[in-house]
Chain A
Amino acid sequence: MAEYSDLPQDALSRLHQESENFVFTSDLSVNEFILVEEAGFTPLGMVMGSSIYHIGYQQANWTKNQEMTVLSQAMYNARELAMTRMEEEADALKADGIIGVRLQVSHREWGQHIAEFVAVGTAVKAKDGTSHRTIKDKPFTSDLSGQDFYLLMQAGYRPVSLVMGSCVYHVAHQGTLAAIRQLGQNRELLPYTQGLYDARERAMERMQTEAAELKAQGIVGVHLNESNHSWDSHVLEFFAVGTSVVKFKEVEMQAPGLMLPMNDSSVD
């Protein structure tokens, strides 16, 4: 198994399918499990990738809006490493893809600049033997739940890859002069607006570029998260993540019935 040299030996023996003791593992709920089966897939095992990353240093210019490229790059690389290791585990299981991928970042107490990036999901394989791997011959990945996955396949879309883009941005502190000038005026704070605007745009564009490279047609379920990761209060990470899809068949789905629940969930 030289091709998976990046994986620990324990992982490889756990994932070894031909062994007599092999049973599938999954973090799917019962509903999800049934629906994934219904969609023509069978779960193979839980797969995981992790990367403990030292995030480098970058000096921010106190009065300037700027991207903290060292940090953007670090946040991206670390997530990508975790994802790639997870994909390698799925490869070892000879899976077609991974569903329900969760990407988490946690900070460890034993190092200020150290963060652990973990990707976890359930590897699945098509029952009829068709391959759903990406054009780069990697298993497909997606953050969709079993229900979402089923619905998407029913509608004729196939997940390609979990795509992401990150941008860490330093928003300028205002100088005293600027602060005095604007005291008595109603005015827009353009440096703030522009900083956050650009950071969001960059994160989204990077995500789209990643999907375009995999020849995906669209991205569904996009989330745009903002988080500070305990940096300086003027430094923010914008992280865009979604599942890229391609349409593989035209289907006319049955019209859904209109159901209006009579209990009001907004009232406690």
Chain B
Amino acid sequence: MPLFRRPSKPPQDAAATPITNRTYESESLEDAQADQDQLESGDLPSKAKIRLNRTISGELPWMSTYAIPDFILVERLRIEPLAQVTGTCYFHAATDNQGHIFLDSNLEAANLVRAYYRAKDEALSRLIQEASLVGAHAVLNARYRFRREETVVSFTILGTAVRFTGLNPPKRPLVSPLSGEETYKLMTRGWLPVNMALGYHWHCMPVGFSTKFSIARNWYNQEFTDVSEQFMQSRQLAIRKMHQDGARDYPVGGFVGVKVDYSVEETEILFMRSGMFDNGITVGGTFFPYDDAGRAEVPAFNTEFFVTGASVVRLASGKLSPSDIARFLLMT
């Protein structure tokens, strides 16, 4: 549907059909700008705050993203849904003017990795701000989505803020991406879902002709040990980072519902001349001379490892009691 075709006269609504009479009030450009400023200063858009306040005061109904069986299971745990809460962030990783991503001295795409973490952290902190505003103990059923287009990483998370009946509000609400059924099963076995964690690592490994061409031309079976080793290393680093990320705000007993994504990809790295008498660089026994602009393009392999999971902690050997949860929330 082409949207920008200019009409000869301003648009006109046909006379309203009598059975629909609701009119939506539109957002003014000033409001949009004010919301942007508020987000920049670490606050929530005013519309979000108004909605949450009206929900918690009972003026608007509570809402929950749970499917019905999940909703009823969670109610049995004396957990009340309060409001749907959300957080989102678009983050741009630094590039040069042709859109290349900078690598650090270890040839890791630190900027990109940072963009993933920043997008996640900003969005998560908005989600938590919203949840704190309604006095929630936890955000359950938090569904999230990472997306990357070129150098822009976006993260959106959407869940149901809930209250554990009879407990005081905590300093920082818990976040769990698990479904109601999973939460129920965990909580009847003494485990409490605590947070969601991300592990991400991206490494770019330049290779010489011996590797590059043996991959393309060789006829016999062989392993490219340096690529596999690099991949294993990326994996270990990503998983270690997930542990660190999970343990940042709460003690963690382990991870469940872990999702893994990885890729190994052929690419090129641009190396820049660093000194006057620098003629080129040697990678894996191959010499790559710099061109007139002082650049050398070296074949390389990207190894990327992405892992997210729900961190859980064991508080009891049997069914969790409200006092177990209260004690844990006080501890953090």
Contacts and interface: CB of A to CB of B under 8 A. Distances in A.
A156 B24 CA distance: 33
B150 interface: no
B26 to A, nearest CB: 4
A91 interface: no
A263 interface: no
A113 B1 contact: yes
Contact of B96 (A67, A151, A184): A184
B188 A258 contact: yes
Contacts, number: 216
B32 A57 contact: no
Interface string B88-129: 111111111100000000000001001100110010001000
A256 B23 contact: no
B299 to A, nearest CB: 26
Nearest to B48: A201
Given A206-B24, A208-B51, A59 B6 contact: yes
Interface in B213-271: none
Interface residues of B, number: 74
B24 A186 contact: no
Contacts of B59: 212
Interface string A160-195: 000000110000000000001011111111111111
Given A194-B39, A197-B45, A208 B90 contact: no
Nearest to B3: A232
Nearest to B130: A201
B45 A201 contact: yes
Contacts of B26: 66-67, 69, 72
A235 B55 CA distance: 28
B93 A186 contact: yes
Residue of B47, B90, B93 contacting most chain A CB atoms (<10 Å): B90
A211 B73 CA distance: 23
Given A190-B39, A193-B88, A253 B76 contact: yes
A210 B24 CA distance: 12
B96 to A, nearest CB: 7
Contact of A253 (B48, B72, B158): B72
A211 B81 CA distance: 16
Interface string B41-63: 00001011011001100011111
Interface string B2-17: 1111110001010011
A231 interface: yes
B40 interface: yes
Interface size class on chain A is 35 or more
Given A151-B69, A186-B115, A260 B185 contact: yes
B51 A232 contact: no
Given A155-B72, A219-B63, A191 B36 contact: yes
Given A59-B4, A189-B92, A152 B68 contact: yes
Residue from A6, A208, A256, A258 having most chain B Cβ neighbours under 10 A: A208
Contacts of B308: none
Contact of B19 (A70, A81, A184): A81
B13 A231 contact: no
A187 B90 CA distance: 9
19 contacts: A64-B29, A67-B26, A73-B13, A76-B24, A84-B19, A113-B1, A183-B97, A184-B96, A193-B122, A197-B45, A197-B86, A198-B47, A201-B47, A204-B84, A217-B61, A220-B68, A221-B68, A235-B3, A260-B185
Given A64-B32, A70-B13, A190-B36, 9 more contacts: A59-B4, A81-B17, A186-B111, A192-B90, A197-B35, A198-B35, A205-B47, A220-B66, A256-B73
